[in-house]
Structure 1
Amino acid sequence: MDHQLNIKTFIFNSFRENCYVLWDAAGNCVIVDPGCYWQEEFGRLKEFIAAEGLKPKAVWLTHGHFDHVHGVLKVVAEYSVPVLMSPEDKIVLDNNQNAVRDFGLTAPDSSQIKTVDIKDGDVLDTLEGAPFKVITTPGHTPGCVCYYCEADKVLLSGDTLFAGTIGRTDHLGGDYDMEIVSVMDKLMGLPGDVDVLPGHGRRTTIADERTHNPFLQPFNEPEEDPDWDGDGIEIDPIGR
């Protein structure tokens, strides 16, 4: 099957957060975790969207931590798009202005961020030919979610799963045991060749994490070949 999902990665703010722009053949796009803190960062995002002739349709949030939502109000003001987030993370969103004080930063006023509730199993058909399923993965925060596209074998894992590690759980609402259960029960059963795009750091695959992620021991599987050839997804087609 010839899929037309394209993905561009931006690395934003002091925490080197991964923001993703996903778009289909018609130019419809979604912006995942717009963490653009500085105006220059938001400018780069706008310039890319304009240069590619994209039509923003939504913001998808994997969770409410400040490094993932810094640019939400900028994006909404520019494009008038809905912001999708689990309602379980409202407590996290509301705490951001307290959380950033130790870093000498500011955070968006959560009362100004109007979100659309999503829940486990919801299917988002914003992008033509590339439906994404919402997978709730509480642990890093109470309302963490991942977005999974079976057609293109892509998982947007936010801060739930990284290459070689998992999300920290020592912040407000974090729960280590729940994090492990979420990863094992919700993510490790996905096909090994699913490409994992995390909220920070490099991409990985489900197969690599089954085999090498030390936080998933003693559940690690023997070495396996996911036979990944990249069909159906173009990662950073014009570079980072």
Structure 2
Amino acid sequence: MSELLGLIFSPWTEKARWALDVRRVPYTFRHYQPMIGEPALRVKLRQLTGRISVPVLTTDDGRVIADSADIARWADGRGDGPTLFPAEHEAAIARFIDLSERAMNAGRALSLSRMLGDDEALSDMVPAPIRRTLGPLASRLGAFGIRRTLRKYDGHTADLDAHRRALVDALEEIRAALAAKAQPDGAPKTLLGGFTFADITVSQALAGVLPPAELRLSPAGRRGFTDPELRERYADLLAWRDALYRAFRTS
């Protein structure tokens, strides 16, 4: 059986899991431990230097796929369920993937930066056995890991104002795209006239505003990934995201 390596609280991992689930492709899930698991992941990817990340799917025939959209494309050729990448919508889906990536990258930077001021959230980022051993010092290890992640994706300095503008701009684009769509009877709007990977990827753009309930975060971690001002400002988008989950998130 195929194995998906990912982070249980990551919207990138959620995109891959949703695609596999909605296509009813069997797989096992294994939680990735940042820093601790990096050497083995580098061996799996055959990449000894440079930036690496999860999710990573190892297929039942030994292929290694290291990108959410590529994992979804692989799933679309297997199982059954909604077609995630209809040929006539390839260009539009690519644009929505880019839009969601901009929002998710900005949301990650903003959320992790907020968490640096929350010792409980920092401690919760540390695996439980290590957290119990370190006690109050666990928050320091959590802060080290978060700063390492911020450097990994943003360099040594992060322009939080720029990230916030990028997130807001992306959310406004999503709002405009949905406003142009008709409301089907008894179902949530979809971006391309039917449920596709565009809906999966765009729904995760809201993870840095308010994570979906399906992402496994501690109360402190969920607090760190929630932006109260944007949560109120984009309540309509959050309602759309939650309706999409109820209609199409099968597991």
The answer to whether TM tops 0.5 is no
Bigger strand share: 1
Band the TM-score falls in, shorter-chain normalisation: 0.3 to 0.5
TM-score, length basis structure 2: 0.32
TM-score, length basis structure 1: 0.33
Bigger helix share: 2
Larger radius of gyration: 2
